[in-house]
Amino acid sequence: MLADLWARASATQPPLPWEGSLLLGLVALLVTWSPLGHRVVRHLVTLVHEAGHAAVAALVGRRLSGIRLHSDTSGVTVSRGRPRGPGMVATMLAGYPAPALVGLAGAFLLGAGYAAGVLWALVLTCALVLLLVRNLYGLWVVLVLGVSVALLSWTAPAAALSGTAYLMVWTLLLAAPRAVVDLHRERRGRRGGSDADQLRRLTGVPASVWTAVFWLVTVGALVVGARELVPLG
C-alpha cells in the first residue's frame, strides 16, 4: 500500500495549458476576494499559516505545545522556549508568508508535472498538524480537509487532480496578500495582538514595517508563482 501511495504521489502528468490555468486563477481570484468565498478558503490559509509558525518553531529548537484553529478562521500556535531572541522572531515572522511560499513551491511542482504530489503534500501537512491540534473545532477542520483531499487524490482521474491542485495553489497565492490586507484593517483601533504587533514588541521595529514586509513577500510570491502557472513564453 505504501508503494502504491508513493507511486500515486510521485506520478507526473503534463502541466495544464496556460489558458486552463489562467481560468482557474480567475476562479480562485473571485473566491478568495469575495466575502463568503474568502471565509471558506481562509480555513486552509489559517492552517498553513499556523503550520508555518510550528515548522519554524521546531527548526529553531522551540518546544511545540499545540495549535488551535477557531470557527472565526483565526488560529494560534503555542511554543515554549526563550520569550525573546532570533528564534522567537523567526517563529512570529513565519506565519503570514507561509501560505504564499507554500503556494509558490506548489507552482514550481505543478510546472514540473507533480500535481498529485502537491495534493498529497497537503494531506501530509494535515496529518502532521493533526498531531498538534488542541481543540475540537481545529480537529474537525483538519480531518475534513485532509480526508477529503486524500480521497480525491486516491480516486479522481488525472485531469481532476490537476485542476484541483492548480486551484489550490492559485488560492494560496491569492489569499496570502488578502490576509495581509485583513491584518492591516484589523490592526487599526484594536489591541496589539497580531503577529506584526508581537514582532514590534520583540524587535522595536514598527508593526507597520512588518506588515509591509508581509505584503512584499506575499505579492512577490504571487507574481513569481503566476509566471510559473501561466507560462506565456
Instruction: List per-block mean pLDDT (blocks of 10 residues) for the chain, which spans 233 residues.
Output: 75 89 96 88 94 95 93 90 91 96 96 93 94 93 93 87 95 95 76 84 93 97 96 76
Around 122, how many Cα atoms within 13 Å sit in the side-chain half-sphere? 33
pLDDT of residue 189: 53
Helix%, strand%, coil% for the chain, nearest 5: 75, 5, 20
Handedness of CA 111, 149, 11, 52 (dihedral sign): positive
Q: Helices in 94-206 by DSSP H: which ranges? A: 97-111, 115-130, 136-155, 158-187, 195-203
Identify whether the C-beta of residue 209 lies closer than 8 Å to the C-beta of residue 103: no
pLDDT of residue 179: 93
pLDDT of residue 155: 86
Residue 75 CB-density burial (10 A; 0-12 exposed, 13-18 middle, 19+ buried): buried
pLDDT of residue 30: 94
Q: Which residues contact 117 (CB under 8 A, 6 or more apart)?
A: 9, 10, 109
pLDDT of residue 164: 94
CB 60: neighbour CB atoms within 10 A? Answer: 18
Query: What is the DSSP-derived secondary structure letter of residue 100?
Result: H
Distance, CA of 3 to CA of 203 (rounded, Å): 48
Distance, CA of 196 to CA of 44 (rounded, Å): 21
